[in-house]
Amino acid sequence: MEETIFIASDHAGFDLKKKILNSIENNLVDLGVDNMNSVDYPDYAKMLVSKINSTKNSKGILICGSGIGMSIAANRDKNIRAGLAFEPEIAKLMREHNDANVLVLPGRFMNLQDILKCIENFLTTNFEGGRHKNRINKLS
């Protein structure tokens, strides 16, 4: 079964999201925004979380200016483990150790090359399980 990857941003992440969509051959499902007009980031985080909760075998990518707002908003849902990656190794570790299902990116603080490597690591790294599974179970 193929994995569905949703992507959404607020206005501060719009330009980066466009660059990502133009750079990645993977079929990302774009949930918006579609322009630079000011929006409220929680609305887009909630939309992405809702899609993940209703779509088997799915993950998400959220982008805002700092990544912090989207992280907070997404992690309010009990089924979401959203991690803010500011360099590629973090994106790898959030999958290996935390089984993160949402990658959050700081649109104003990273270059495209590092962002694309974060996405690659997030999408290709598997959860290690073991002692990490016990820790994740304690989050519920």
Whether 21 and 74 have beta carbons less than 8 Å apart is answered as no
- Catalytic residue list contains 97: yes
Q: Which one of the listed residues 19, 46, 97, 132 is annotated catalytic?
A: 97
Comparing CA positions, the residue from 13, 35, 42, 69 lying closest to residue 50 is 42
Residue 103's nearest CA partner among 18, 7, 31 is 7
Catalytic residues: 97
